[in-house]
Amino acid sequence: MKLTRNQSNPLGVKEQIKRQIKGLIESGSLKAGAPIPPSRDLALTLGVNRNTTWAAYRELTKEGWLSTTTGSGTYVNQMKTTVTC
């Protein structure tokens, strides 16, 4: 999973992380059950505070995009798709 941080983007880093992860899930690049890097590792990669990545993960979990298991990690959640006619 490759995420980037754009300092000239008017969105905050947390929102950039959330949108990128959602985009990867929606495009099928991240499939249900795929592991997400630990928030600490992603923070080091992006050069941001771990609390920023942790907050993004927490919000994505509340929205149903990710699921977290203590001691096991964070994974892409099985999303329900809706069909519109």
Q: What is the pLDDT of residues 45-73, one digit of tens each?
A: 999 999 999 999 999 999 999 998 888 89
Helix, strand, or coil here: 73?
strand
CATH code that applies to domain 13-76:
1.10.10.10
Task: Please state, rounded to an integer, the average pLDDT across all residues of the chain.
Answer: 89
pTM: 0.86
Q: Which residue ranges make up each domain of the chain?
A: 13-76
The 10 Å CB-count burial string (b at 16+, else e) for 60-77 is beeeebbbeeeeeebbbb
Check if the beta carbon of residue 48 is closer than 8 Å to that of residue 7.
no
pLDDT, residue 79, reads: 65
∠ CA 17-29-5, nearest 5°, is: 25
pLDDT, residue 82, reads: 35
pLDDT, residue 69, reads: 84
Check if the beta carbon of residue 52 is closer than 8 Å to that of residue 43.
yes
